[in-house]
Amino acid sequence: MRYPPAFVLKRLILLLMIVWTAATLNFFIPKLTPRNPLREKLLEDASRGGYIPPGFNEMVQGYEKKFGLDQPVWKQYLTYMGDMARFDLGYSISNFPKTVGELIGEAIPWTIGLLTVTTALAFLIGTLLGALIAWSRSPSWLNYLVAPLLTLSAIPFYLLALILIYFVAFQWKLLPLGGGYSFGIVPSFSAAFIFDVMKHAILPALSIILASTGGWAIGMRGMMVTVQGEDYMTFAEAKGLKPRRLFFRYAVRNALLPQVTGLALSLSFIVSGSVLVELVFGFPGIGTLLARSVGQLDYFLIYGIVFIIIVAIGVAMFIMDMIYPLLDPRISYE
Amino acid sequence: MNDNGYVLRVENLDVQYHTDAGTVYANSQVSFNLKPGERLGLVGESGSGKSTLALAILGMIKPPGRIGGGEIWLENTDLVKLPEEAIRQVRGRQVSMIPQGAMNSLNPVARIKDQLIDGMIDHELGLSRSEMNRMVREALEAVELDPQVAQMYPHELSGGMKQRACIAIAIAMNPKVIIADEPTSALDVVTQRQVMQTIGHLQAQLGSAVILIGHDMGLMAQFVDRIAVMYAGKLVELGSVKDTFTHPMHPYTQMLISSLPRLENKGTFNGIPGITPLLREIPTDCVFNSRCPQAIPICMQRVPKLLEHRPNQWAACHLYQSEEN
C-alpha cells in the first residue's frame, strides 16, 4: 500500500498547519503597522470633500466598532479565525460593500482558466521539444531550436506581451488589445461569449506559453542528456527495443521526474497568476485584482488574495505528494 | 560465405571514434570466430577496446564512433551491412548482452516483468500475454529468482538479484550469442561465483556461445574454453585456456599471467611497467614495443599479424614470425 492512512493524515495536518500559520501571519502583520486603513480611507474620502468633518474621530471609531476593531486583540483573532474557517475574508475597503470573497470569486476563474491551459500547454510542448532535441536519434536540425528557445526563456513574459500587443493587436488589428471580453457583451454561456473570451485570451496565453516553453525545454534537454548516459539505456538498446519505446518508456519516463517537480511548483502559482501579463492585457484575473488592491491600499483584499494563494500552494503540494509515488516507485510512504 | 560452422565470425574489424582531439582507433583489425556453444574469454586492460568490440557486435557503435571496416558474420548475415531496423531485430533475440553495471542497468521506474516483456513485444514474437507471462516465469526460474520478483521494481532487489534479473532478460529469447561484459565486476566473490555458475549452467542448457569480457584472469581460467587477449585495440593472442596459461606466446600475455598473485611468492607483486599507448594513429609498428622486454628491431618497424604459430594458438608477435618472413 502506497498511501498509509497515517501518512495521508499527517500530510493533511501539515497542510492545515501551513494554512493556519498563513492566516495568523495575515492577521498579525497588519497589526504591526501604525497605519490605520479605515482612518486613511475615510480621511481620503473626506479630504476629497475639501474639509475634515468635526465628528471625524467618532466616525472612525464607529467604523472600527462595525469591523470589530475595538475589541481586544485575542478576541479579534478568534473572530478572524472563525471567519477564515468559513472562508469569510471580510469586506473590501475600496469596493465596499463588496466582500473580498466576492471579488476573488469573480477574478479567480479567469486566472485559473488562462493559467491552467497555458501551463499545461507550455509544459507539454516544452518537455517534448526538449526531449526530442536531446534524443540522439533526432534529426540534427532540431539543434537549431536551442538558441531561440534559450532566448525566449530569457525574455520576461510581459515584454513578449507588449511586443505581441503592438504587432498583432495594435498594428495588424487581428485580435483585441486587452480585457477579458468585449464591452457590451453580457457574460453568459453562449457560443458568442465563449468565442469572444477565447479571442481575448489568445494573446495573454501566447505570451505565457512562448516565454515558459523555453524553460521547460532547456530543463528537459539537460535531463535527457543525463539519462541517455545511464547504463539502463545501453542495456535497453541491447535488448533490441524499438526506438519509440526507448524514447518514451525509458528516456522520457525517467527524465520527466524532475520536470514534474517543476510543474508542481508552477501549478501552485496558477491561482496567483502572472500579475504582469494580466496587467498588460487588462485581463480581469487575480493578478490585476492584486495589483489594484495594492495601489488602493485595500488591506483586506491584499490579505485575502495572499491567503488564497498560500492555500493554493499548500493544496498543490499536497496533491503532488500524493501523485509522486505513482510516478516514481522508489518513492513510497511506508 | 560462412559454411564452416561458426556462429559468429569477426573479420578485420576496425572501429574508430572521431573526436575533436583526433581519431581514436579503438579496434583495429580484430578477427576471431566463435563456435556454437563455445565460451570465449576476452581480456585486456581498461581502454583496450573490449567493450567497443562488444558494442560493435551488437551494432551499437554511436557517433562519434564508426565501424571503419571489416565484417561481423552472425551465421550467414554480415551485421556490419545490416540497416538499423534489421540489426535491432538481431539485438536481444540472437545476440544479447549481460551488462557491466547491473546496479544501474534496469529501468528504475518499471517492474522486472515489464522489462522482460517489452523486449518480447518489440521483437514481435506473436505471443499472447499468458505465454509471455510464462516465459517471464521461466526466465526468472532459470536464473534462480523467485517468481515474485516479476512484480518488483529494481530498487527492491539486491545487487546479485539485479544481476540475475539482467541475465534473465539476456537469455529470455534464447540468443545464439551472449556477450557478458564484466558481469560480476560489481559483485562480491560469493555472489560472483553463484552468478557465474548460473551463466555457465544456462549457457550449456541453451547451447548459446558466450563471450565473457573481463580482466579477472582467475575467473577466465575457470569459466572459458578459449581466451583472447586484447591490447591497445588489437587482438594479440588467442588460444585455449590451457595453452594460454601454460605457455603464453605474446610477451604481454606472458607478463599478464606472471603478474597473477601466487601463494608461493607472497609479498612480491609483478606488474607490467609502462602504460597503454594512446590510440590516436594507425600504428605502423607493434603497439606493445615500448613495454616489451623482448622487443627486437623489427618490432619498431612493422605491425605483427595475428597468426597461428602453434596448433590453435594464435599470436600477433614478431618473435614467432621471423622464420616465416
The CATH number of the domain holding residue A280 is 1.10.3720.10
| Regions of chain B where pLDDT drops below 70 | 1-3, 265-267, 322-325
pLDDT at A327 > cutoff 90: no
Distance CA B287, CA B26 (A): 13
Question: Mutating which of B116, B118, B167, B169 best tests the A interface, going by the most A Cβ atoms within 10 A?
Answer: B118
Residue B161's Cα: distance from chain center in Å?
22
Residue B256 phi/psi, 5° resolution? -60, -45
Whole-Å CA distances, B216 to B186, B192, B234: 12, 12, 19
Partner A contacted by B104 (CB < 8 A): yes
Q: Can you give the pLDDT at residue B117? A: 93
| Cβ neighbourhood burial of A7 (10 Å; 0-12, 13-18, 19+) | middle
Return residues 110-139 of A near B (CB < 8 Å): 136
Q: Can you give the pLDDT at residue B325? A: 45
Asked whether residue A313 is assigned to any structural domain, the reply reads no
Asked whether residue A153 is assigned to any structural domain, the reply reads yes
Residue predicted with more confidence, A66 or A199 = A199
Tell whether the torsion through CA atoms of A103, A105, A110 and A111 is positive or negative. Answer: positive
Asked whether residue A288 is assigned to any structural domain, the reply reads yes
Low-confidence winner among A3-17, A54-68, A196-210 (lowest mean pLDDT):
A54-68
CB contacts of B96 in chain A (<8 Å) are 238-239
CB contacts of A249 in chain B (<8 Å) are 107, 110, 118
CATH class, domain B1-94+175-261+275-280, is alpha beta
Partner A contacted by B124 (CB < 8 A): no
| Domain residue ranges of chain B, discontinuous segments joined by + | 1-94+175-261+275-280, 104-174
Cβ separation A235–B90 shorter than 8 A: no
Q: Can you give the pLDDT at residue B322? A: 57
Asked whether residue A333 is assigned to any structural domain, the reply reads no
Q: Can you give the pLDDT at residue B281? A: 75
Partner B contacted by A245 (CB < 8 A): yes
Cβ separation A136–B62 shorter than 8 A: yes
pLDDT at A142 > cutoff 80: yes
Asked whether residue A261 is assigned to any structural domain, the reply reads yes
Asked whether residue A103 is assigned to any structural domain, the reply reads no
Task: Measure B20 CA to nearest chain A CA, in Å.
Answer: 18
Strand order in the sheet with B22-34: B22-34, B8-19, B65-74, B77-78
Asked whether residue A269 is assigned to any structural domain, the reply reads yes
Residue predicted with more confidence, A105 or A333 = A105
Asked whether residue A317 is assigned to any structural domain, the reply reads no
Name the band, by pLDDT with cuts 50, 70 and 90, for residue A272.
Answer: low
Distance CA A269, CA A290 (A): 14
Q: Are B173 and B119 in contact (CB under 8 A)?
A: yes
Q: Can you give the pLDDT at residue A225? A: 94
Range of the domain at A259: 108-297
Closest partner CB to B105 (pick from A235, A254, A327):
A235
Peptide bond before residue A97 is cis, with ω within 30 degrees of 0: yes
Question: Mutating which of A137, A227, A232, A246 best tests the B interface, going by the most B Cβ atoms within 10 A?
Answer: A232
Closest partner CB to B109 (pick from A234, A236, A253):
A253
Per-residue pLDDT averaged across A95-103, rounded?
Answer: 82
**Side chain identity at residue B217, one-letter code:** M
- Tens digits of per-residue pLDDT, A253-271? 999 988 988 888 787 777 6
Helix (H) or strand (E) holding A7, with range, is helix A5-32
Partner A contacted by B96 (CB < 8 A): yes
On whether the pTM is more than 0.90, the answer is: no
CB contacts of B100 in chain A (<8 Å) are 231
Question: Mutating which of A2, A136, A138, A234 best tests the B interface, going by the most B Cβ atoms within 10 A?
Answer: A234
Q: Which three cell numbers stand for residue B9?
A: 565470425
Q: Can you give the pLDDT at residue B3? A: 56
Q: Are B120 and B110 in contact (CB under 8 A)?
A: no
Name the band, by pLDDT with cuts 50, 70 and 90, for residue A333.
Answer: low
Whole-Å CA distances, B228 to B27, B71, B249: 14, 18, 12
ipTM of the complex: 0.89
* Overall number of domains in chain A: 1
Question: Mutating which of B90, B105, B164, B173 best tests the A interface, going by the most A Cβ atoms within 10 A?
Answer: B105
